Amino acid sequence: MPKTNFSNSDELNKENNKIVECDEYLNFHLFNIYSMDTMSTLFQKAINDYSFGYSTELTGNLIKWNIHIGDDYNKKNIIYVTIDHKLVASSLFNNDDIVILTTFGILIYTFNENNKSSDNDKHIFLNYFYSMELTFNRKKDMKILQYYKKMFSKSTLPSPNYDSFRSLDGWISDVKNNKLILLKYGVELLKFAIIEHKLELIDDIYKK
**158-192 pLDDT tens trace:** 999 999 999 887 899 989 988 888 988 999 999 99
* Whether residue 148 has pLDDT greater than 90: yes
Q: Identify the band that residue 23 occupies on the pLDDT scale cut at 50, 70 and 90.
A: very low
User: In the chain, where do the E strands start and end?
Assistant: 55-59, 64-69, 79-81, 87-92, 98-102, 105-111, 124-131
Domain encompassing residue 53: 35-153
For residue 203, tell me if it sits in a domain: yes
Final residue of a structural domain among 153, 177, 198: 153
* pLDDT given for residue 156 in this prediction: 87
- Domain shared by 97 and 48, yes or no: yes
- Domain shared by 137 and 55, yes or no: yes
* pLDDT given for residue 143 in this prediction: 97
For residue 15, tell me if it sits in a domain: no
Q: What whole-number distance in Å separates Cα of residue 131 and Cα of residue 56?
A: 21
Number of domains in the chain: 2
Mean pLDDT of 108-115: 76
Q: What whole-number distance in Å separates Cα of residue 31 and Cα of residue 155?
A: 9
- Domain shared by 143 and 164, yes or no: no
For residue 17, tell me if it sits in a domain: no
* pLDDT given for residue 25 in this prediction: 39
* Whether residue 84 has pLDDT greater than 90: no
Final residue of a structural domain among 153, 173, 188: 153
* Whether residue 193 has pLDDT greater than 50: yes
Kindly report the average pLDDT of the chain as a whole number. Answer: 78
- Domain shared by 142 and 176, yes or no: no
- pLDDT greater at residue 85 or residue 21: 85
- Domain shared by 119 and 64, yes or no: yes
Q: What whole-number distance in Å separates Cα of residue 111 and Cα of residue 36?
A: 20
Q: What whole-number distance in Å separates Cα of residue 29 and Cα of residue 164?
A: 22
- Domain shared by 139 and 186, yes or no: no
| pTM for the full predicted model | 0.74
- Domain shared by 40 and 119, yes or no: yes
